[in-house]
A and B are shown apart, each in its own frame.
Chain A
């Protein structure tokens, strides 16, 4: 493989006029897409815009109806994923595909173990694995450790190393940062920069426009199966790209109307859980949005869980409205507290059940009339613009954004007026995010329901936290700092406070 500059005339990968229909649905309508070697090309678009279909065409998982592909000028028409892999297309998906019990070196060489007379040559395995890790400049990853003992971020590097060991020419990263911590993201970005300088062509798919701005050289926006914009990333603003994605101008991503702080509805005093949080105090007023910032692992989720009665409380007290006492989720719902879980798939939703069952689960009457349940759910489907076949559809079939809206619909249907929201916009499309921000504002201002609600929101995404909150408190190493008005904070000071705890 020879490293060539991005200005080379023959692109590493060229996709021309790719077209694909599924029945009546047009997934791709003549998409052109090209990546040069030594280039990071971001592919962005809302869920359902056609990103994953395009990538599946590239990886040989789907045959296009029309269009052609060239790799280094040579025709490329994979009929199976294996053919694409042999041609040098490597995919790194959000869900990693490693064998957890095998070691790092075994995983890197999986499926192409060097062998002689059926015996694996361990020395050769080790050499190849180390070579690949050196290319990433991460030779410190222990070769003989079972992969499941590595952090998610390191597992992802192992998977990239495997792609390099196979000799990939085009690396596709599909939402690679959605389950990574901040340090892992930084490390990944460094690896991407290195691969780029080695002349690899990289396709980077992400929802996070800030990331795209930072890491990519060029971008392409897909909407409704068409390519609606492409260009140099440096020349495009975040709002331009978002505008292309949702097809209209974004006036204000974070609406903020007049809010009036009322009485204290949630008072936490020196709360401590089993390991996290260690000490947390705050008071939340009606009509107020209080944000909690902090690093992953600082104990923010654990704080919400302890307040909601999902995790045991070791010390301290929680008062909801007039009631102080030991909590269980059942009691909290009765007191008008609702919680949105950070893990939509494992905890937030029962994916196998219908939208109606999920939306009404916390507030079912003794005798359930399905027609009534459907009617109630239909109201929220319309109010939140949930794209679905109807209230009886399974939640599993919905996109991430629509799933999240159903999880929120549960809190709204319940009529909760104290809302604990844990990473409410993680991994969802921009339009759904905008709707959720609008919803939070509506709730705090009292436009939804009969009185203003109180919202406690945990988020790792600082622009969002600064955008929606009235006050922000930072959690570091299990301790919650004092909540200060949002005007006293900026991204820099929030990061400083979040990491400052570690220095102390």
Chain B
């Protein structure tokens, strides 16, 4: 039985805002424990900065998960992107060209994923489990099994994307890398809500058969989301490079897991058809707040891992609870 329209509308909003309320709650707890740092604006900036890499990669992952897929190769694509950027700089390319090459490398990996998934009709979990190794291997091969150092003078602006803001740049509030992530988030959120492609992504994830019946070009939609995942992993790689200033084929090992966790904490369903960009960003921030809060309040690393794990399970359980209530 459905309640009145206003009540269900309120419930919908509460559902949508649940992750955001969770973030505020977690932040408030740490503000209580370590008020000296958590009540400062500086700390907010740090948290945003630290979560930019996972957050950016999670934008693409959100699209993949809404479409009912999964991309386990995100971490490897981030590493490849850093290696490509470093290799390009080493060969004398300009910073913009190098950055574009890194991002393109990610997008091409995504295209490869999408083509394999739609062409071979193998489930995404297996395909991307394979490409996780393939791409990681390619990154190591390109870097000849080691880090590629880049002469500092050729870096130009590449190393300030996630740098702490200096005195003269306080007006920016957060570094350019964070702005980049926020701008991209707005773009993807708009794409999901206001374009045909976005609605098709939801339809494919919710019920692929229905999508096909309704004339949705299912393979094209799937390829698009994997390309997007690769693209955003490439941009996350650019941010990673900016932080390390070396091309490191072993970086971001296992990073796909926090990226997926961000989407899930934010209300994405691994069964497809559900997820939101706001939720995903909040999910990435919740994990970072816990990490930074725990380390600042002297909680050991292992406790922090347990807490993060518990939150992932809790997010999944809450999601189920919401569905059960909706079904009644």
Q: Is B196 an interface residue (CB 8 A)?
A: yes
Residues of A within 8 A of B120 (CB): none
In which size bucket is the chain B interface? 20 to 34
Instruction: State the CA gap A390–B207 with chains docked (Å).
Output: 21
- Say yes or no: is B12 at the interface (Cβ < 8 Å to chain A): yes
Partner pick for B203 among A22, A328, A361, A369, CB 8 A cutoff: A361
Interface centre among B1, B193, B217 (most CB of A within 10 A): B1
> A348-B210, A357-B202 are known contacts. Are A368 and B194 too (CB-CB below 8 A)?
yes
Q: Do B196 and A347 have beta carbons less than 8 Å apart?
A: no
Q: Which residue of chain A is the closest to B7 with respect to CB atoms?
A: A389
Chain A interface size, under 10 / 10 to 19 / 20 to 34 / 35 or more: 35 or more
With contacts defined as CB atoms under 8 Å apart, how many contacts are there between chain A and chain B in the complex? Answer: 99
Contact (Cβ within 8 A) A366 B196: yes
**Known contacts A350-B207, A389-B8: A367-B213 contact under CB 8 Å:** no
| Interface residue SS majority, chain B | helix
A347 touches B202 (CB 8 A): no
B97 within 8 A of A: no
Compute how far the CA of A366 lies from the CA of B200 in the bound complex, rounded to whole angstroms.
Answer: 11
Binds B, one of A208-216, A329-337, A495-503: A329-337
Is B320 an interface position by the 8 A CB rule?
A: no
* Chain A nearest CB, measured from B3 CB (Å): 7
| Interface 0/1 of B65-102, CB less than 8 Å to A | 00000000000000000000000000000000000000
B275 CB, nearest partner CB in chain A, Å = 11
A389 touches B5 (CB 8 A): yes
Q: Which residue of A lies closest to B327 (CB)?
A: A396
Complex interface: chain B residues within 8 A of A243 (CB):
none
CA of A361 to CA of B203 in the docked complex: distance in angstroms?
8
Interface check A392, CB cutoff 8 A: yes
Interface residue? B169 (CB, 8 A): no
Which residues B1-48 have CB closer than 8 A to chain A? 1-5, 8, 12
User: For the complex, what is the distance from the CA of A424 to the CA of B44, rounded to whole Å?
Assistant: 57
In the complex, whether B156 has a CB less than 8 A from a CB of chain A is no
Contact A397 B194 (CB under 8 A): no
Interface string of A339-361 (1 = CB under 8 A from B): 10100001111111100011001
Q: How far is the CA of A365 from the CA of B198 in the complex (A)?
A: 11
Among residues of B, the one whose C-beta sits closest to the C-beta of A328 is B215
Among B271-326, those with CB < 8 Å from A are: 273-274, 326
B178-205 vs A: 1/0 string, CB under 8 Å? 0000000000000001111011101100
Residues of B within 8 A of A347 (CB): 207, 209-210, 213
Asked if A25 is at the interface of the complex by the 8 Å CB criterion, the answer is: yes
| B213 close to A329 (CB less than 8 A) | yes
Which chain B residue shows the least CB distance to A345?
B207
Flag if A330 contacts B273 (CB, 8 Å).
no
Beta-carbon contact of A349 and B195 below 8 Å: no
Query: In the complex, A357 Cα to B207 Cα: how many Å?
Result: 12
Please indicate the chain A residues that have their CB under 8 angstroms from the CB of B327 in the complex: 396-397
Known contacts A329-B214, A339-B213, A347-B213, then 10 further A-B pairs from the complex at CB < 8 Å, ordered by chain A residue: A25-B1, A329-B212, A331-B215, A348-B213, A349-B207, A352-B207, A358-B210, A366-B195, A392-B12, A397-B326
5 closest Cβ pairs, A-B complex:
A350-B206, A330-B215, A350-B207, A347-B209, A362-B214
Q: 13 A-B Cβ contacts within 8 A?
A: A23-B1, A23-B3, A308-B213, A329-B212, A339-B213, A341-B213, A346-B209, A349-B207, A350-B207, A352-B206, A361-B199, A368-B195, A368-B196
